[in-house]
Amino acid sequence: MPEESADRTAQESEGVVGLEALEEPKKMTREDWRKKKELEEQRKLGNAPAEVDEEGKDINPHIPQYISSVPWYIDPSKRPTLKHQRPQEENQSNFSTIGEWYKRGVQEKPVTTKFRKGSCENCGAMTHKKKDCLERPRKVGAKFTGTGMAPDEHAQIQLALDYDGKRDRWNGYDPEEHMRIVEEYSKVDLAKRTLKAQKLQEELASGKLVDQAASSRKQYGDDEHGAQEREHNSEDEDEDKYADDVDMPGQNFDSKRRITVRNLRIREDIAKYLRNLDPNSAYYDPKTRAMRENPYHNTGMVPEEVGYAGDNFARYTGDTITMAQSQLFAWEAYDKGSEVHLQADPTKLELLHQSFKVKKEDYKEKQKDSILAKYGGQEHLDAPPRELLLAQTEDYVEYSRHGAVLKGQEKAVARSKYEEDVFINNHTAIWGSYWREGCWGFKCCHSLVKQSYCTGDAGIKTASTICTPFEEGLEEEEEEEPKSLMEMHREKMEKKKKKKNKKNKKKSKHGKRDSDSSEEEEEEDEETKKRKLKKALCAEEARLQQVAELMLLDERKRPYSSLQEVKEPTEEEMEAFRMKRYRPDDPMASFLSQQ
Dist CA 172 CA 176 (whole Å)? 12
List Cα–Cα distances, 185 to 178, 196, 453, 566, in angstroms: 11, 17, 74, 81
Contact partners, residue 544, CB within 8 Å, separation at least 6: 580
**Considering the domain boundaries, does residue 296 fall inside one?**
no
Residues in the chain, overall count: 595
Q: Which pLDDT belongs to residue 249?
A: 45
**Considering the domain boundaries, does residue 406 fall inside one?**
no
Dist CA 573 CA 581 (whole Å)? 12
Assess whether 122 and 187 both reside in one domain.
Answer: no
What angle in degrees, to the nearest 10, is found between the helix axes of 571-580 and 511-552?
Answer: 50
Assess whether 82 and 27 both reside in one domain.
Answer: yes
Contact partners, residue 525, CB within 8 Å, separation at least 6: none
Assess whether 114 and 82 both reside in one domain.
Answer: no
Q: Which pLDDT belongs to residue 69?
A: 87
List Cα–Cα distances, 321 to 303, 314, 327, 488, in angstroms: 17, 11, 10, 74
Write the pLDDT tens digit of every residue in 84-140.
888 777 666 677 777 788 877 777 778 888 899 999 999 999 989 999 999 999 999
Q: Which pLDDT belongs to residue 544?
A: 86
Write the pLDDT tens digit of every residue in 556-591.
777 766 446 667 888 888 888 888 887 777 777 666
| Domain final position from 196, 226, 261 | 261
What angle in degrees, to the nearest 10, is found between the helix axes of 175-206 and 209-220?
Answer: 110
Assess whether 78 and 125 both reside in one domain.
Answer: no
pTM over 0.95: no
How many domains, the chain? 5
Which of 261, 242, 241, 237 has its CA nearest to residue 250?
261
Contact partners, residue 373, CB within 8 Å, separation at least 6: none
- Report yes or no: 293 and 282 within 8 Å, Cβ to Cβ: yes
pLDDT along the chain (595 residues), means of 10: 48 47 66 92 92 89 90 79 81 74 77 90 92 93 91 82 85 86 94 92 77 58 52 52 47 48 65 85 87 82 77 78 90 89 90 93 94 89 74 74 74 69 85 87 88 86 63 47 74 82 65 58 80 88 84 75 68 86 73 58
| Domain final position from 435, 453, 470 | 470
> Can you say whether the dihedral through the CA atoms of 341, 342, 346, 349 is positive or negative?
positive
Q: How far apart, in Å, do the first and last CA atoms of the chain sit?
A: 117
Assess whether 81 and 115 both reside in one domain.
Answer: no
Which of 534, 514, 546 has its CA nearest to residue 579?
534
Dist CA 519 CA 361 (whole Å)? 93
**Considering the domain boundaries, does residue 378 fall inside one?**
no
**Considering the domain boundaries, does residue 57 fall inside one?**
yes
The DSSP element (H or E) to which 594 belongs, if any, is helix 589-594
Assess whether 186 and 135 both reside in one domain.
Answer: no
Tell me the CB-side half-sphere exposure of residue 409, using CA atoms within 13 A.
4
Dist CA 149 CA 107 (whole Å)? 13
- Domain boundaries, position 438: 413-470
Assess whether 117 and 73 both reside in one domain.
Answer: no
DSSP label at residue 194 = H
**Considering the domain boundaries, does residue 520 fall inside one?**
no
Dist CA 524 CA 530 (whole Å)? 10
Dihedral of the alpha carbons of 358, 363, 365, 371, in degrees to the nearest 10: -170
Which of 304, 292, 299 has its CA nearest to residue 276?
299
**Considering the domain boundaries, does residue 557 fall inside one?**
yes
DSSP label at residue 317 = S
| Domain final position from 470, 486, 502 | 470
Dist CA 521 CA 515 (whole Å)? 10
Q: How far is CA 409 from the centre of its chain?
A: 51
Dist CA 442 CA 428 (whole Å)? 9
- Report yes or no: 560 and 464 within 8 Å, Cβ to Cβ: no
**Considering the domain boundaries, does residue 41 fall inside one?**
yes
Assess whether 189 and 247 both reside in one domain.
Answer: yes
The DSSP element (H or E) to which 182 belongs, if any, is helix 175-206
Assess whether 24 and 55 both reside in one domain.
Answer: yes
The DSSP element (H or E) to which 551 belongs, if any, is helix 511-552
**Considering the domain boundaries, does residue 40 fall inside one?**
yes
- Report yes or no: 141 and 121 within 8 Å, Cβ to Cβ: yes
Q: Is 441 exposed, middle or buried (0-12, 13-18, 19+ CB in 10 A)?
A: buried
3-state secondary structure of 235: helix
- Report yes or no: 83 and 69 within 8 Å, Cβ to Cβ: no
3-state secondary structure of 185: helix
> Can you say whether the dihedral through the CA atoms of 155, 160, 166, 170 is positive or negative?
negative
Contact partners, residue 427, CB within 8 Å, separation at least 6: 442, 444, 445, 453, 454
Dist CA 94 CA 447 (whole Å)? 98
Dist CA 17 CA 268 (whole Å)? 85
